Amino acid sequence: MKRAIAVLLCALTLALAGLAQTKKHAEKKSAASPAPDKAYMQKIWDGWSTLDPSNVAAFYATGPHTFYDIAPLKYNSWDEYDAGVKNLVATYKSARFTVNNDADIHPHGDLAWATATVKYEMTQKSGKVDMGNMRWTVVWQNQDGKWLIIHEHVSEPVQ
């Protein structure tokens, strides 16, 4: 009988410890900032509208992450993206990007992913205006309370 009571007390102690850990973990998750929304998505594209990658660097995670852009095909980190995209945007004098109303956001704990089409109007230094819509798929991770892009795919439909 004493043995059964001892086993029950151990089981109860372990169960309570597990509940305490779960509650602590849930409290930590709830302290995270709200998941990205369409306004946050637009803020990222407003940064790109400046044609200066340093104005969007704060939205991207550092380290080895994959970012697909229209040209070239792929970047393996923000540092690569920053260096590579400078050559592309240097051929433009102005840009405007608008996240369309089809933005669809899916938060899941410390991750969130979204899809949208993005309208663009970009004026080359030669004066030629490029207009159209791009596809955008983005994955964020909440790192220290800030939603950072850990994967991105930007593409245009084949004309």
The values of phi and psi at residue 145, to 5°, are 85, 5
Closest C-alpha among 44, 69, 66 to residue 57 = 44
In a structure prediction context, what are the per-residue pLDDT tens digits for the chain, which is 159 residues long? 555 454 444 444 445 455 444 444 444 444 458 999 999 999 999 999 999 999 999 999 999 999 998 877 899 999 999 999 998 899 999 999 999 999 999 999 999 999 999 999 999 999 999 999 999 999 999 999 999 999 999 999 887
Write down the pLDDT at residue 139.
98
Q: Are 67 and 152 in contact (CB under 8 A)?
A: yes
Distances (CA, A) of 64 to 3, 47, 95: 54, 22, 28
Q: Are 140 and 149 in contact (CB under 8 A)?
A: yes
At 123, the amino acid letter reads T
Write down the pLDDT at residue 149.
97
